[in-house]
Each structure stands twice: as structure tokens, then as C-alpha cells.
């Protein structure tokens, strides 16, 4: 089969490409990315197994003519491209709307005119907004940030495909862990970097806010396994665990005893979101047994060069 990955040079895309390139059933992998977050990790590291299958096109989601060109002969589309959330996720509503909402719309329009058989969209658990109680797929979305609103609007376009081809929407938790295309603005990744190299991390609020998380290897594994799974199309949460920020700090403190941590605006209670892991989905997509967080953090730290 032939596969297109939008945002293929990104964090999740870098992990997914490695999985798909090693799959004998995959004949061609097209990476489509505008390199707006200059990240070249997917291009580095020497020739990998299946490297001859991979092609790269630099392009924009809003370039409908280019999209239609790269979709020729494509069987499966992974839509990962997005303007991602950051600590300044409410700073530029227009950019989130253009890329995540209307960019997704343009891709869906192009797919509707193609022979694509399967469409997989990486959405965000952020579409649920805030919740102290664990939400699931039956919970009503209530996005708070421009990023989350734009991802939910993207979902609405993707849902048009559900009666026409196999279509999956995965609402991913906060992604963390090492790979060559990793982001350091994600909370766990940021903490691990600061703890290892600066021996001090900064916690916003009182640290009792919790978030839903999933390891990058698990995301890549889940998305790759959709190709062979008997999971039916639909909207699913892709989450492994919920962790309080202060608990991440505690685990790092055990690994790096001389690490210090400071609180900023400790009097504030920041929003939290707990998402119930979908055990059926995680099992069908072969995520395997969940490792202890401290073990994952130790493995992460050991990937640094010093």
C-alpha cells in the first residue's frame, strides 16, 4: 500500500515513519510537511530499513493543487500536520484556524476526489476542555484554547469521510518521550531536559493539575497498527495515563536527587483534564504493557549525550 503522512517531519510523524518503513506491506511513504517548525530529525540518522520507500514533498495544507498531486496513487492518509499547542496557544487565533481548521478542510476536499481508502486523523484530548472527572468518548467536547477549538473543527470536516471510507479520529493525550523529531515545549519533555542539564525545573501553578499522557512510541505503534487492526472506524481517545504535574516532579527528583524545582504563581489552580484510557482500543492496537513512569523517564534521560 502507498501512504501519505501530512506533518511527516514532526514529532509523531518521525516515530510513525520508522514503524511504516519496516512494514513489508507498505510500498511507498510520502512525507508532506512545510517544515515550519524547523525539525530535520526524520531526515537524519543514516539509512534506515525501508528508506527506499520514502519520498518528501515540502508543501502547505492550503495548497489544494499540490495536495491533489501528492494524493495520486495513495491508499492511506495519516493527517498529523497541525499548528501545535504551546504555552502561547491563545496568542494567534488566526494561525490555528488557518492550519488546523481550514487546512484540514482542504485535505478532506482533496481526499474526497481521490482513491484513498483509509484516513487517520490525529486530534487532541484537549477538545474536551477541563474536567476533574475522567472523560471518555461519550463526553461532550468543550474546547477552551484556540488550538483545541481548531482541532475540533478539523474533526468536523474529517467526519464527512466516515460514510465513504475507513476513517479514524484519535484524540491523543499529551505526547512525551524521546525520538529524533521531539518537541521540547511539551511538559514532560521540557521537565526532563531542564532537570538533566540545568538541575532545576519551573512549575506553573500549584502542580496539582493533572493531564492525560501517552508515550511517543505508543502513539506511533497505535497509528501504524491501525492498518492491520480489526478496529472499526470512529472517534477514539488515545491515552495511557493521567498524571499530576507534581508527580512528574517527584519522579524526576528520585532520578536526579540534586534537582531543584520552583513554583511560579503557586496560588493559582490551573485547569486540569483527565481522560479515561480506552483499554479496548489500546489492546486492539497492541500498545502492550504500560511501563512505570520512572522507568520511562530514566530511559529518556539516558538518551541525552551527556
Note the pLDDT tens digit of each residue in 274-288.
999 999 999 999 999
Buried b (16+ CB within 10 A) or exposed e, 171-188: bbbbbbbbbbbbbeebbb
Span of 70-74, 131-135, 256-260 with lowest mean pLDDT: 131-135
Three-state SS for 62?
coil
Instruction: Write down the pLDDT at residue 148.
Output: 94
What pairs with residue 171 in β-bridges? 123, 237
Least confident of 23-27, 85-89, 97-101, 241-245: 85-89
The per-residue pLDDT for range 152-200, each reduced to its tens digit, is: 999 999 999 999 999 999 999 999 999 999 999 999 999 999 999 999 9
pTM for the complete prediction? Answer: 0.95
CA distances from 218 to 55, 287, 300 (A): 24, 6, 14
Q: Is 276 helix (H, G, I), strand (E, B) or coil?
A: coil
- The residue-averaged pLDDT of 55-81 equals 97
Encode pLDDT of 195-237 as tens digits: 999 999 999 999 999 999 999 999 999 999 999 999 999 999 9
Q: Which domains does the chain have, with CATH numbers?
A: 2-175+213-238 (3.40.50.720), 176-211+241-274+289-301 (3.90.25.10)
Q: 88 falls in which pLDDT band (50, 70, 90)?
A: very low
What is the rounded CA–CA span in Å between residue 172 and residue 215? 10
Amino acid at each position: 500500500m502507498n501512504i501519505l503522512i501530512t506533518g511527516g517531519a514532526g514529532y509523531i510523524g518521525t516515530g510513525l515513519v520508522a514503524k511504516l518503513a519496516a512494514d513489508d506491506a507498505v510500498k511507498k511513504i510520502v512525507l508532506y510537511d512545510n517544515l515550519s517548525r524547523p525539525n530535520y530529525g526524520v531526515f537524519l540518522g543514516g539509512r534506515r530499513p525501508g528508506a527506499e520507500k520514502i519520498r518528501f514533498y515540502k508543501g502547505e495544507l492550503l495548497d489544494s493543487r499540490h495536495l491533489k498531486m501528492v494524493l495520486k496513487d495513495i491508499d492511506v492518509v495519516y493527517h498529523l500536520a497541525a499548528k501545535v499547542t504551546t504555552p502561547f496557544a491563545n496568542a494567534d487565533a488566526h494561525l490555528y484556524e488557518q492550519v488546523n481548521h481550514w487546512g484540514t478542510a482542504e485535505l478532506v476536499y482533496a481526499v474526497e476526489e481521490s482513491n484513498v481508502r483509509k484516513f487517520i486523523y490525529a486530534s487532541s484530548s484537549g477538545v474536551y476542555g477541563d474536567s476533574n472527572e475522567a472523560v471518555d468518548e461519550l463526553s461532550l467536547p468543550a474546547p477552551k484554547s484556540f488550538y483545541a477549538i481548531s482541532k475540533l473543527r478539523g474533526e468536523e470536516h474529517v467526519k464527512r469521510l466516515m460514510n465513504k471510507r475507513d476513517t479514524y479520529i484519535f484524540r491523543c493525550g499529551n505526547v512525551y518521550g524521546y525520538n529524533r523529531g521531539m518537541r521540547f515545549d511539551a511538559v514532560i519533555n521540557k521537565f526532563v531536559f531542564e532537570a538533566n542539564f540545568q538541575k532545576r525545573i519551573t512549575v506553573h501553578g500549584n502542580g496539582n493539575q493533572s493531564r492525560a499522557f501517552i508515550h511517543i512510541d505508543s502513539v506511533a505503534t497505535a497509528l501504524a497498527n491501525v492498518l492491520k487492526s480489526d478496529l472499526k472506524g470512529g472517534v477514539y481517545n488515545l491515552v495511557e495515563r493521567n498524571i499530576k504535574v507534581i508527580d512528574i516532579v517527584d519522579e524526576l527528583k528520585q532520578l536526579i536527587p540534586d534537582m531543584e524545582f520552583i513554583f511560579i504563581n503557586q496560588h493559582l489552580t490551573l485547569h486540569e483534564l483527565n481522560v479515561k484510557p480506552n483499554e479496548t482500543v489500546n489492546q486492539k492496537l497492541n500498545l502492550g504493557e504500560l511501563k512505570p513512569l520512572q522507568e520511562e523517564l530514566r530511559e529518556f534521560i539516558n538518551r541525552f549525550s551527556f
